[in-house]
C-alpha cells in the first residue's frame, strides 16, 4: 500500500507551490516579443537543474534516502525500486527534452528572474515527486503503465508541437503570420496541455493523492492566468488572424476546451 506524507509537511509543500506560481505570474508575460539568446541565463538554468537531478537521485537511491524516508515516516525496505527508477527516468527525459528546447528552439529573451523561477518549478517535479514516490510500495500494475503512456504522450505534444512551429516560423514567407497548423490545430495551447499531461503522469506513478496538487496547480495556472494573458498578447500582435484561429480551435484541451 502507499503511505501518506504527514499533513503539516503537505501544507509546507502547498505553500511552496503557491509562492512559485505567485512569483511566476508577475514575470510570465514580460518576455514575449523579446528575442535574445540569453546564453548566461540558459547555462544557469542547466546547472541548477543538474543539481536538482543529483538531489533527486540522492533522495531516491543515495545518501539521503534514509533521512528523507524517516522525515516523511515511510520504511526504506518497503519502497518500490522499480517505481523509483521510472520516476527518475521521467526526470532525465524532462531534463534533456527541456534543455534541448531551450538551447536550440527557444528564441525569446530569458530574464534573470526566470533563470531561478524555472529551476524552482523543476524542484517541484524532480524533488517533490522523488519524495512522494518514497511513500508507495504498491506493485506495478496497469495504472502505472497508463501513467507511462500519458507521460510519453504529454512529452510528445509539448516537444513536437514546438518543433513544428519552429520549423514553420523559420521560413521567410511566414514572417508576421500566426502558426495554427500541426498539433496547434488541435488546441491553441497544445504545448501547455502536454505539460499538464506529463506532470500528471509523475503524480500517477507516486500513487499519492497529495502529489496531485502539483498538476492541479499547473492546470489552474495555465487555464486561469497564463493562457488568458498570452491570448491577450497574441490578439494584439496578430489581430484578425488570432480571432479566426480562436473561433475555430479549442483553447487548451483538444476536442473539449
- Alpha-carbon gap, residue 201 to 213, rounded angstroms: 13
Eight-class DSSP state of 140: P
| Cell 534543455, residue located | 99
Roughly how many angstroms between the first and final C-alpha of the chain, as a whole number?
Answer: 35
Q: Tens of pLDDT along 15-59?
A: 544 544 444 444 444 444 455 577 888 899 999 999 999 999 999
- Position 11 scores a pLDDT of 53
* CB distance 240 to 176 below 8 Å: no
- Position 28 scores a pLDDT of 44
Eight-class DSSP state of 30: T
- Alpha-carbon gap, residue 82 to 74, rounded angstroms: 17
Average pLDDT over residues 188-213: 95
The band of 216, judged by pLDDT with boundaries at 50, 70 and 90, is very high
Average pLDDT over residues 146-170: 94
Q: Tens of pLDDT along 54-108?
A: 999 999 999 999 999 999 989 888 899 999 999 999 999 999 998 888 888 776 7
Cell numbers linked to 3: 503511505
Confidence check: pLDDT of 145 > 60: yes
- Alpha-carbon gap, residue 199 to 83, rounded angstroms: 16
Average pLDDT over residues 140-165: 95
- Position 19 scores a pLDDT of 46
Cell numbers linked to 113: 528572474
Confidence check: pLDDT of 254 > 50: yes
- Position 119 scores a pLDDT of 85
Q: What is the CA radius of gyration of the chain?
A: 19
Confidence check: pLDDT of 125 > 50: yes
3-state secondary structure of 253: coil
- Alpha-carbon gap, residue 166 to 171, rounded angstroms: 9
Average pLDDT over residues 212-236: 93
What average pLDDT does the chain have? 86
Distances (CA, A) of 82 to 11, 78, 79, 95, 137: 28, 12, 9, 20, 10
Eight-class DSSP state of 183: G
* CB distance 85 to 146 below 8 Å: no
Identify the CA nearest to 83 among candidates 122, 137, 43, 149. Answer: 137
Amino acid at each position: 500500500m502507499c503511505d501518506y506524507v504527514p499533513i503539516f509537511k503537505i501544507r509546507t509543500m502547498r505553500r511552496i507551490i503557491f509562492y512559485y506560481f505567485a512569483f511566476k505570474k508577475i514575470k510570465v508575460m514580460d518576455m514575449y516579443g523579446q528575442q535574445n539568446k540569453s546564453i548566461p541565463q540558459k547555462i544557469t538554468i542547466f546547472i541548477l537543474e543538474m543539481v536538482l537531478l543529483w538531489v533527486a537521485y540522492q533522495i531516491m537511491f543515495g545518501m539521503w534516502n534514509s533521512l528523507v524516508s524517516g522525515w516523511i515516516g515511510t520504511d526504506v525496505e518497503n519502497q518500490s525500486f522499480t517505481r523509483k527508477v521510472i520516476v527518475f527516468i521521467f526526470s532525465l527525459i524532462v531534463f534533456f527534452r527541456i534543455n534541448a528546447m531551450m538551447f536550440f528552439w527557444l528564441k525569446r529573451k530569458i530574464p534573470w528572474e526566470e533563470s531561478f523561477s524555472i529551476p524552482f518549478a523543476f524542484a517541484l517535479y524532480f524533488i517533490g515527486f522523488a519524495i512522494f514516490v518514497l511513500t508507495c510500495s504498491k506493485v506495478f500494475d496497469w495504472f502505472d503503465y497508463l501513467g507511462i503512456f500519458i507521460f510519453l504522450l504529454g512529452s510528445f505534444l509539448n516537444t513536437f508541437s514546438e518543433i513544428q512551429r519552429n520549423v514553420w516560423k523559420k521560413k521567410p514567407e511566414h514572417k508576421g503570420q500566426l502558426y495554427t497548423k500541426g498539433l496547434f490545430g488541435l488546441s491553441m495551447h497544445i504545448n501547455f496541455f502536454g505539460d499538464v499531461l506529463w506532470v500528471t503522469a509523475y503524480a500517477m506513478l507516486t500513487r499519492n493523492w497529495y502529489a496531485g496538487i502539483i498538476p492541479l496547480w499547473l492546470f489552474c495556472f495555465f487555464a486561469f492566468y497564463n493562457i488568458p494573458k498570452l491570448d491577450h498578447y497574441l490578439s494584439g500582435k496578430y489581430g484578425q488572424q488570432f480571432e479566426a484561429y480562436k473561433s475555430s480551435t479549442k483553447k487548451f484541451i483538444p476536442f473539449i476546451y
